[in-house]
Amino acid sequence: MCLGNDPLPPQINIMTHDTDILIAGGGIAGMIATLILADAGQRVLCVDPAKPGSSPDLRSTAFLMPATRVLDKIGLFDQLRDHAAALRIMRIVQARNGTPTRTVDFDAAEAGEPQFGWNIPNAALRAILPQAIAAHPNADLHSSVSVCGHTPRLNETIVRLSDGSHVPARLLIAADGRDSQLREAAGISATRLRYGQKALVFAVRHDRPHDGISTEVHQSGGPFTLVPLAGPDQNRSAIVWMDLGPNIATLQDLDPDAFTAAVNTRSCGVMGPLALDGGVAAWPIIGQYASHLTGPRLALLGEAAHVVPPIGAQGLNMSLADAATLADLIRANRSDCGARDLLTRYHRKRWPDMRLRVHGIDALNKASIAGTPLGHSLRDAGLHALMSIKPLRQAAIRGGLGR
């Protein structure tokens, strides 16, 4: 553990590196933030403790339209287009005892949009983003290096790296994940919401084309979500299966045939027969938000700032909103990207929306967990209201579009 804001020892060797912003964390959020801020005219260095390709990522990310426009603005979406599946319709299915009882569709066309967004495999993002950073004149990515601490000064902060070097930067961004050591070292607390759930993520093949329809099947324990994947025959989908931890553990112990049978039972047949396509990974489910988004010469971004269960495609879209907001503020205050008043505005712009979304997803997730008859009845009533009450339906569509 080398985190801390200790004073610099005398006669240290400060590495000369032309850096305005140093980003701690080279996950997808950190790399996209690197490109967004570099495109805003900042010289950005992103450092990540992991080695490239050290752990395969079986997840996919649904970029809603505001996030897609951010990717398009920085010239990144064209590089990702071949891997992107359009999400035209968001379908919610209420099921009981393996049988669908109510289905509600929300079509992006009702809001004048061709799609809600695009779903892209994380593996494609992790392959393309380092190349995009390498090609950007203002951006750099160093792997196998972590931030050990920083010493804020009046006009800069000296960032200490695990390779022994010290990099001066005007702003340090903590994009180092839900257990952010930089957040903890800065004394910023985080409220954590626990559900006792995990999520299984994997891909499946199906004979029936997905037609750009993302489907959430609610029964108990959490949603079972099928999200379209790109392909000429539209016969692949990504699965996020949320359930209580002991149930997930039982599923992980099944042999492939038994697991495939369990997948087909839980899907309630909404896409016809499903066949496993690749490996399976499990992720713990929590909700979390930081009490503050900034410190001296420090800004929190991505899961260091907020974590939500994978419902409504909010997680990484919130992270892109973090980076885009920071970039807009920096463009308006060219003199110092780490100035106290700029960081204060960043907190004020992002924290209320962030907290609202975390608690909104929290409520949806708790409603999806209930497996009692009362829980089923309440979800049925909610879906009926969304289907039949026009203002509620329009609000749901706007939410699906990320507005």
pLDDT digits (tens, 9 = 90+) for 40-95: 999 999 999 988 766 788 999 999 999 999 999 999 999 999 999 999 999 999 88
pLDDT band for position 11 (cuts 50, 70, 90): very low
Q: Where in the chain is the domain with CATH 3.50.50.60?
A: 21-58+122-192+290-362
> What is 77-121+193-285+370-400's CATH superfamily?
D-Amino Acid Oxidase, subunit A, domain 2 (3.30.9.10)
CB 251 within 8 A of CB 264: no
- The structure tokens listed for 220 are 């108990």
pLDDT score of 377 more than 80: no
pLDDT, mean of residues 262-280: 96
Q: Please compute the mean of the pLDDT values over residues 284-300 and round it to a whole number.
A: 97
Of all residues in the chain, what percent carry a pLDDT higher than 90?
A: 73
What pTM did the predictor assign? 0.90
Q: Contact 290/183 with Cβ under 8 angstroms?
A: yes
d(CA 222, CA 158): 44
Residue that is written with structure tokens 């999200």 in the block: 227
Rounded Cα distance between 87 and 181, Å, is 36
218, 96 in Cβ contact below 8 A? no
Q: Select from 145, 157, 147 the least CA-distant residue to 183.
A: 147
CA distances from 7 to 43, 146, 151, 298, 402 (A): 25, 19, 6, 16, 43
d(CA 172, CA 158): 9
Q: In the chain, what are the helix, strand and coil shares in percent, each to the nearest 5?
A: 35, 30, 35
Domain with CATH 3.30.9.10 in the chain: 77-121+193-285+370-400
> How much is the pLDDT for 350?
97
Q: Which class in CATH covers the domain with range 21-58+122-192+290-362?
A: alpha beta
Separation between Cα atoms, residue 171 and residue 323, nearest integer Å: 13
CB 357 within 8 A of CB 314: yes
DSSP one-letter code for 14: B
HSE, side-chain direction, 13 A CA sphere, residue 38: 28
